[in-house]
Amino acid sequence: MLVTLKEIYEYAEKNNVAIGAFNVVNFENIQAILECAEELNVPTIIAFAQTHEENNVMDLDTIGEVMVLMAKNAKVPVCVHLDHGVNLDYIEKSLKMGFTSMMFDGSALPYEENVRQTIEAVKLARKYNVTIEAEIGKMAGITLNNDGVTENRASDRSMYSDPAEAKDFVEKTGVDCLACSFGTVHGEYTAEPNIDFELVKELAEATGVPIVMHGGSGVSHEDYKKVIANGVRKINYFTYMDLAGGKGVSNQTFKTFHEAAFAGKEAMRKDIESAMRCFLNKD
């Protein structure tokens, strides 16, 4: 069943857990995620990022309505989220398709401009009655394509979010949840994540809204538990699920494509299940 992030956050808050937001760029991604969520009987989030389209991995017109339809048909609550939207027309296209949640990412903008544009994005979210996530601080390595990581600045503290600024941002914009930078990076890790757990807590307390962890795959289960205990309620997860799918097909030979696609899906399903169990305290 299709739900907004609001319902998902209520579940996460009540149970002191985080919900995985898994990026999808093909049918097998969606199947693997929904099969796991149904097996564990938990809510989940499927997300499509504007960067997937810019990197020619998949386009919204092709996958958007499939995501919404499969979410509607699922036996568990599923939120369909537009991830890292950088322009309002593009975001609105997803909302017209029935997406129930959106992220406006103005983190590359100067602070005041990020506030100004996020306020406009909040108006759009309210018009469609969906939840909105925004971002402050900067995340390194936005490489959601097949090129792997291009940089790793996980320990560059100048990029981390500032609690006072985060509080001001939430007060001025009225966003429902906030993506913050505290030591994870998008893409494949070339050095250990350098997570500042105390900062996560400070950000959650200062803002009073759920904190979103981007660059969520490739982090140890021990670190997941710690960030969740300190206020993370949504964990964005893609690269390591995608790598698992790649590994699942690279060490076998197949006669037909559908057999290869099935093997890839199964390998991703195992990776997703392990992450979901950890996020939801079912491990």
* Residue 187 vs 231, nearer CB to ligand 13P: 187
* Residue 5 vs 254, nearer CB to ligand 13P: 5
* Residue 150 vs 172, nearer CB to ligand 13P: 150
Question: For ligand 13P, which residue of 18, 43, 239, 249 counts as binding (CB under 6 A)?
Answer: 239
Question: For ligand 13P, which residue of 233, 236, 264, 280 counts as binding (CB under 6 A)?
Answer: 236
* Residue 167 vs 214, nearer CB to ligand 13P: 214
Q: How far is the CB of 19 from ligand 13P (least distance, A)?
A: 14
Q: How far is the CB of 110 from ligand 13P (least distance, A)?
A: 22
Q: How far is the CB of 56 from ligand 13P (least distance, A)?
A: 17
Question: Tokens 């993506």 belong to which residue?
Answer: 179
Q: How far is the CB of 132 from ligand 13P (least distance, A)?
A: 15
The yes-or-no answer on residue 83 being catalytic is yes
In terms of Cβ atoms closer than 10 Å to its own Cβ (0-12, 13-18, 19+), residue 251 is exposed
Question: For ligand 13P, which residue of 52, 81, 167, 186 counts as binding (CB under 6 A)?
Answer: 186
Secondary structure, 3-state, the chain? CEECHHHHHHHHHHHCCCEEEEECCCHHHHHHHHHHHHHHCCCEEEEEEHHHHHCCCCCHHHHHHHHHHHHHHCCCCEEEEEEEECCHHHHHHHHHHCCCEEEECCCCCCHHHHHHHHHHHHHHHHHCCCEEEEEECCCCCCCCCCCCCCCCCCCCHHHCCCHHHHHHHHHHHCCCEEEECCCCCCCCCCCCCCCCHHHHHHHHHHHCCCEEECCCCCCCHHHHHHHHHCCEEEEEECHHHHHHHHHHHHCCCCCCHHHHHHHHHHHHHHHHHHHHHHHCCCC
Cα–Cα distance measured from residue 99 to residue 65, given in angstroms and rounded to the nearest whole number: 9
Residues in 194-233 at the binding interface with ligand 13P, rule: CB under 6 A: 214-217
Q: How far is the CB of 181 from ligand 13P (least distance, A)?
A: 11
Give the binding-site size for ligand 13P (rule: CB under 6 A).
Answer: 15
Residues in 116-155 at the binding interface with ligand 13P, rule: CB under 6 A: 144
187 binds ligand 13P per the rule CB under 6 A: yes
Residues in 22-81 at the binding interface with ligand 13P, rule: CB under 6 A: 23, 49
Q: How far is the CB of 146 from ligand 13P (least distance, A)?
A: 12
Question: For ligand 13P, which residue of 9, 160, 237, 279 counts as binding (CB under 6 A)?
Answer: 237
Which of 61, 83, 168, 223 is an active site residue?
83
Which residues have a catalytic role annotated?
83
Instruction: Give contact residues for ligand 13P (rule: CB under 6 A).
Output: 23, 49, 83-84, 144, 186-187, 214-217, 236-239
